[in-house]
């Protein structure tokens, strides 16, 4: 139960505690009272462990337990203890307030140490897919390396390695772009592998880091085949392999009769290097959220592309052809030529290379543009909903990962802080 208890003298408060075992709790501006018996229904939690972990939060000046946490969430958490007598089979009812975001409430559950089973039940009720505990290698050394290279949120060293990896990715992409800048000598742009080529040296250094990183992660991975066939690791392979193929082909092409054909193949592999930018998705959660959103919205995107746009392009392409062909034959020579105009108009790009000049043609163009805007707008709510779902899920998983990878999930006890309730019961 909740009530205002301020205004009591210390003696009155001592009497209240001694008689009713009431425990005063303050959360920001909200003050609560509950009984020791209520909290003891869950002795493994933070509030239920009044003789150990709870001591660190006792305020001797105000003679109360103080938590600088989200107050609306504490209403629900306290009700979880109180509802145990009505729902003992569930261990109590935990209901997230509608005005509290999912990720904030998840952090409160972890802070008050309600238990992993409560946290999993909360995630299930909120519609999250049940996340399995990430598999770990058996060897202690491999487990340490796996956390360093695969989970940057687990430690400062892992975060530093992730930052270094991002720096190498950005450096490699920058070198790939800058080497085509006109002021640089032509010998740096013709696939020539030279020891004095600064771009080749930068590329070799970056590839060396990518190779070591991939090999370490592969050796330490608990499951080798799933590791190789995951999307992000395929991107890593695509980012690494072209370099070695390029060096090999150049060595073979040097002085051979097939040098021209080999150099043509080299240019293709040089183009593949641009996909290295996708490696950033490993370290950018926003890109991962965007990828998951697009993947889950394939049905809506397919409807937009193959139904709305395909049918509309055919209809408006044919309509603009018959409306403009006689007066504007150069721009609308045939219906297939008109498809390009219809697509550009529906996407509101409007290059201006083809445009109607007759009244009927302008009317068709106006209807085509309006249809295009509506076709784009229709699937947007679904896509936004998917994005919001994966965004909050990503934040929730970050909190959950921190919880899983924290070896000591208990609050450090302050040995100098003796609980007021314990002293007077």
Question: Do residues 36 and 93 share a domain?
Answer: yes
Question: Is 255 among the domain residues?
Answer: yes
Question: Do residues 308 and 247 share a domain?
Answer: no
Q: What is the pLDDT of residues 147-166, one digit of tens each?
A: 888 887 778 888 898 889 88
Per the structure, the complete domain to which residue 219 belongs is given by 140-283
State which of 131, 159, 182 marks the end of a domain.
131
Mean pLDDT of all residues in the chain? 76
pLDDT(6) > 60: no
Tell me what pLDDT residue 2 has: 43
Share of the chain above pLDDT 70, in %: 75
State which of 92, 110, 131 marks the end of a domain.
131
Question: Is 408 among the domain residues?
Answer: no
Question: Is 288 among the domain residues?
Answer: no
Question: Do residues 44 and 176 share a domain?
Answer: no
Question: Do residues 174 and 79 share a domain?
Answer: no
Question: Do residues 147 and 64 share a domain?
Answer: no
Question: Is 114 among the domain residues?
Answer: yes
Sheet with 64-67: list strands edge to edge: 30-35, 22-27, 64-67, 58-59
* Higher local confidence (pLDDT), 5 or 63: 63
328 contacts: CB under 8 Å, gap ≥ 6: 356, 357, 358, 361
pLDDT(76) > 80: yes
Tell me what pLDDT residue 408 has: 44
407 contacts: CB under 8 Å, gap ≥ 6: none
Question: Is 52 among the domain residues?
Answer: yes
User: Which CATH number characterizes residue 266's domain?
Assistant: 1.20.120.350
pLDDT(415) > 80: no
Question: Do residues 171 and 238 share a domain?
Answer: yes
User: Which CATH number characterizes residue 304's domain?
Assistant: 1.10.287.70
Question: Is 53 among the domain residues?
Answer: yes
Tell me what pLDDT residue 229 has: 87
Question: Is 424 among the domain residues?
Answer: no
Tell me how many domains the chain contains.
3
Tell me what pLDDT residue 124 has: 79
* Higher local confidence (pLDDT), 226 or 261: 226
* Residue 215's pLDDT band (cuts 50, 70, 90): very high
Question: Is 51 among the domain residues?
Answer: yes
Q: What is the pLDDT of residues 353-373, one digit of tens each?
A: 888 999 999 999 999 999 888
State which of 358, 377, 396 marks the end of a domain.
377
pLDDT(101) > 80: yes
Q: What is the pLDDT of residues 12-63, one digit of tens each?
A: 544 444 445 678 888 887 888 888 888 888 888 888 876 677 888 888 888 8
Question: Do residues 116 and 158 share a domain?
Answer: no
User: Which CATH number characterizes residue 77's domain?
Assistant: 3.30.710.10
Question: Do residues 274 and 236 share a domain?
Answer: yes
Question: Do residues 74 and 101 share a domain?
Answer: yes
């Amino acid at each position: 139960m909740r009530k205002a208890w301020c205004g009591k003298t210390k003696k009155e408060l001592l009497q209240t505690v001694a008689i009713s075992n009431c425990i005063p709790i303050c959360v920001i501006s909200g003050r609560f009272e509950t009984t020791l018996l209520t909290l003891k229904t869950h002795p493994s939690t933070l509030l239920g462990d009044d003789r150990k972990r709870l001591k660190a939060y006792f305020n001797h000046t105000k003679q109360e337990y103080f938590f600088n946490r989200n107050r609306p969430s504490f209403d629900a958490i306290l009700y979880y203890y109180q509802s145990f007598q009505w729902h003992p089979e569930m261990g109590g009812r935990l209901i997230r307030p509608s005005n509290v975001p999912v990720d904030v409430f998840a952090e409160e559950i972890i802070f008050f140490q309600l238990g992993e089973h409560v946290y999993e039940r909360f995630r299930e009720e909120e519609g999250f897919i049940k996340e399995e505990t990430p598999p770990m290698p058996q060897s202690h050394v491999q487990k340490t390396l796996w956390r360093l290279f695969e989970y940057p949120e687990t430690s400062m060293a892992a975060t530093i390695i992730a930052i270094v990896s991002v720096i190498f990715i950005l450096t490699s992409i920058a070198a790939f772009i800058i080497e085509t800048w006109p002021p640089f000598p032509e010998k740096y742009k013709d696939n020539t592998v030279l020891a004095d080529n600064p771009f080749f040296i930068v590329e070799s250094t970056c590839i060396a880091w990518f190779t070591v990183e991939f090999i370490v992660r592969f050796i330490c991975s608990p499951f080798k085949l799933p590791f190789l066939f995951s999307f992000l690791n395929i991107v890593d392979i695509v980012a690494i392999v072209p370099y070695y193929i390029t060096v090999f082909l150049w060595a073979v092409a040097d002085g051979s009769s097939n040098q021209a054909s080999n150099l043509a193949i080299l240019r293709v592999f040089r183009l593949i290097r641009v996909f290295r930018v996708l490696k950033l998705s490993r370290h950018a959660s926003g890109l991962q959220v965007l990828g998951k959103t697009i993947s889950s919205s394939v049905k809506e995107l397919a409807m937009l592309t193959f139904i709305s746009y395909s049918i509309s392009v055919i209809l408006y392409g044919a309509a603009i052809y018959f409306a403009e062909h006689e007066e504007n034959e150069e721009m609308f020579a045939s219906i297939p030529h008109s498809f390009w105009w219809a697509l550009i108009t529906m996407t509101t790009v409007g290059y201006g290379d083809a445009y109607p000049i007759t009244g009927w043609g302008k009317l068709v163009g106006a209807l085509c543009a309006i249809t295009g805007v509506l076709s784009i707008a229709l699937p947007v709510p679904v896509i936004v909903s998917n994005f919001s779902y994966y965004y909050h899920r990503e934040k929730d998983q970050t909190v959950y990962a921190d919880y899983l990878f924290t070896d000591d999930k208990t609050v450090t006890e302050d040995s100098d802080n003796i609980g007021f309730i314990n002293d007077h019961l």
